[in-house]
Amino acid sequence: MRLLCPHPPLPRSRIFGSSMNPLAAYLVIGLGSALGGVARYGCGALAATLWPVAFPWMTILINILGSFVIGLFATLTGPDGRLLVGTLWRQFVMVGICGGYTTFSAFSLETVVLLRAGRPLAAGGNVLLSMALCLLAVWFGHRLARRLNQ
Amino acid sequence: MEWAWVIIGSALGGMARYGVSGAVARRIGETFPWGTLVVNVSGSFVIGLFGALVATGGALGGARMVGAFVMTGLCGGYTTFSSFSLQTLNLARDGEWPRALANIVASTALCLLAVWAGFALAALIPGG
């Protein structure tokens, strides 16, 4: 019996159920997104000192990690999950932290910048790598959670 | 000081994402991640616009706090790759392979176009 999850199992397309208290949802999402954003900013600053090359490798890594975590957490706390958490926790981690940490805008901007710099191969590589590795990551996170749920 | 703007912007961006994607999903339905698509495309447009404006030579050239707040903060918090990945995975798990592929292609193409449109708009702004 799922004591902490008051909603019936959601269809997979509806990942983010509605909170009983909309204001609480906004607050935890704002907080999570702030945390994710600052972590992303820190990673960016680290990348600039570690390996300052003209390719957005850190954005790719950020998006991979965030995708892995959301895949893992979604299945761990999902209908068949082992981790019983309320909707607010799911919103905090998935919509908040993962959503704030990962970014589609930086990915898009960096790709266009590469195109405008006359580097179509690098741009295409950024798209292919980001898509392939992030989708693999979310799948791995999901599979790992499935294993942990058993 | 940039950190502070990133924190504020990212918090606001995340809340805006929740509101917008929720409103879109309620409006259009949830058989396809329209909410995330709308959010990512609009966020990409804004980062393109401001990316051009704050670049050296742009109308706001060198305005690092604006870049930190709008681009790293707002756009970074507003757009999301993780939700996109999860929703694509879920479409695939539900056997909706054409929709999963459409999500990938449409998100990529429309977001790149949106950035380009943002650049184009910036070029129309005096000094931009």
**ipTM for the assembly:** 0.96
Mean pLDDT of B54-83: 93
**Inter-chain Cβ pairs, chain A and chain B, closer than 8 A:** 194
Closest residue to A37, CB basis, from B10, B33, B88: B10
- Residue B40: pLDDT band (50, 70, 90) is very high
Residue A6 confidence (pLDDT): 41
Contact B85 A138 (CB under 8 A): yes
Q: Give Cβ neighbours of residue B21 (< 8 Å, ≥ 6 apart).
A: B35, B36, B38, B39, B83
- Looking at the predicted structure, is the pLDDT value of residue A143 above 90? yes
- CA angle, corner A50, sides to A47 and A53, nearest 5? 70
Distance CA B114, CA A47 (A): 26
Q: How confident is the model at residue A1, as a pLDDT?
A: 39
**No. of helices (H) and no. of strands (E), chain A:** 6, 0
Contacts of A146 in chain B (CB under 8 A): none
Are B25 and B35 spatial neighbours (Cβ–Cβ below 8 Å)?
A: yes
DSSP, collapsed to helix, strand or coil, labels residue A48 as: helix
- Whole-angstrom Cα distance, residue B30 to residue A11? 10
The DSSP symbol for A9 reads: P
Quote the tokens at residue B28. 């259009």
- Considering only CB atoms, B76 lies closest to which of A71, A103, A142, namely A103
For the segment A65-81, the average pLDDT, to the nearest whole number, is 97
Specify whether the CB–CB gap between B69 and B10 falls below 8 A.
no
A7/A127: higher pLDDT = A127
- Average pLDDT of the segment spanning B61-78: 95
Closest Cβ–Cβ partner in B8, B31, B81 for A103: B81
Is the confidence at residue A11, as pLDDT, over 50?
no
pTM value is: 0.92
The span from the CA of A145 to the CA of A87, in Å, is: 18
Which residue, chain included where needed, has tokens 């060198």?
B62
pLDDT at B100: 98
| Beta carbons of A38 and B112 less than 8 Å apart | no
